[in-house]
Amino acid sequence: MKITFKAIAGLAVLSSTMLLNSCTSDADSSGVEYMPDMYRSAAIEPYVDYGEIRGRENAELKMKISALVPPHGTIPFYGTDSNEVLLMLPYHRLPNIAFKTTHGLTNVDFTTDDTYALAAADQNPMKLTPENAEAIFASGKELYKANCVHCHGEKGDGNGQMMINGTYTGVPAYSDKSALSDGQLFYSIYYGKGAMGSQSSIINKKEIWTLVHYIRKFQNPDYGKDGVVAPVVASADSTGSK
């Protein structure tokens, strides 16, 4: 009887200690996690460097690719802003079947339609206004420096370092592509065009549309001044390659 009483008393003390230790002043906290593996996913996540986590280094994983591509057909979550969600939904135009060979596209659906020509009707959903123009161009500049300048050059003239080094040839000046519609510029960046490969794996739709606005500045210095979208003078065939 005494043994049973001691066991019950010990269990009560242990339970009380665990209960008190799980308390926190943070109203949003769920308390101490005693069995995190029961409700914390151990699944591998994309864009996580599993070679070094919380200061612990795993040399074996250091040399393995961790930027995994999400499963085909999945749709990312972007919050509750309906405009933002619509902007970030999967691109509604599929690449032509030829892109499977010419640009090595994988993990996408294809079509036999000339979707590049159809993209001529697409307009930039990110409307330029006096309130957002400065922010959009600033963001576009950073994106351009990080993803485009090495080929297209600081002035958008096609004289980037990769051209100067002789790594690539034939990168056009944006001024020669002013007849391309916003939709065709987007399509060219998203799926690739000519010698340029698809950029959709490294920049998202919002970033590409931001770049489209920034590219227009190379074609027309007055583009977006005072919040006005100045017309771009056509100087090339709208079906020309980028």
Task: Report pLDDT for 73.
Answer: 75
CA distance 37 to 99: 43
Neighbours of 71 (CB within 10 A): 8
Give a yes or no: residue 74 inside a domain: no
**Does residue 41 fall inside a structural domain?**
yes
Other C-beta atoms closer than 10 Å to the C-beta of 74 total 8
The total domain count for the chain is: 2
pLDDT at site 100 = 92
The answer to whether residues 112 and 9 belong to one domain is no
| Pair (122, 209) in one structural domain | yes
Distance (Å, whole) CA 182 – CA 208: 10
Q: What is the CATH number of the domain that holds 128?
A: 1.10.760.10
78 CB burial (10 A radius; 0-12, 13-18, 19+) = middle
Tell me the whole-structure pTM to 2 decimals.
0.68
**Does a structural domain hold residue 112?**
yes
20 touches 12 (CB < 8 A):
no
Domain assignment present for residue 11? The answer is: yes
Residue 184: other Cβ atoms inside 10 A:
24
In a domain, 37, yes or no: yes
pLDDT at 174: 93
* pLDDT for residue 234: 41
Angle 204-110-126 (CA atoms, 0-180°, nearest 5)? 30
Whether residue 85 contacts residue 79, with contact meaning beta carbons closer than 8 Å, is answered with: yes
Share of the chain above pLDDT 70, in %: 70
Looking at the fold, whether 93 and 54 belong to one and the same domain comes out as: no
pLDDT digits (tens, 9 = 90+) for 201-219: 899 999 999 999 999 999 9
Window from 17-26, 116-125, 137-146, 183-192 with minimum mean pLDDT: 17-26
Residue range of the domain that includes 37 = 2-21+32-62
Question: Which one-letter DSSP state was computed for residue 57?
Answer: E
Let me know if residue 76 belongs to a domain. no
Tell me: do 53 and 106 sit in the same domain.
no
Residues 53 and 92 in one domain: no
Which pLDDT band holds residue 240 (cuts at 50, 70, 90)?
very low
Residue 175 lies in a domain: yes
* Residue 67 forms part of a structural domain: no
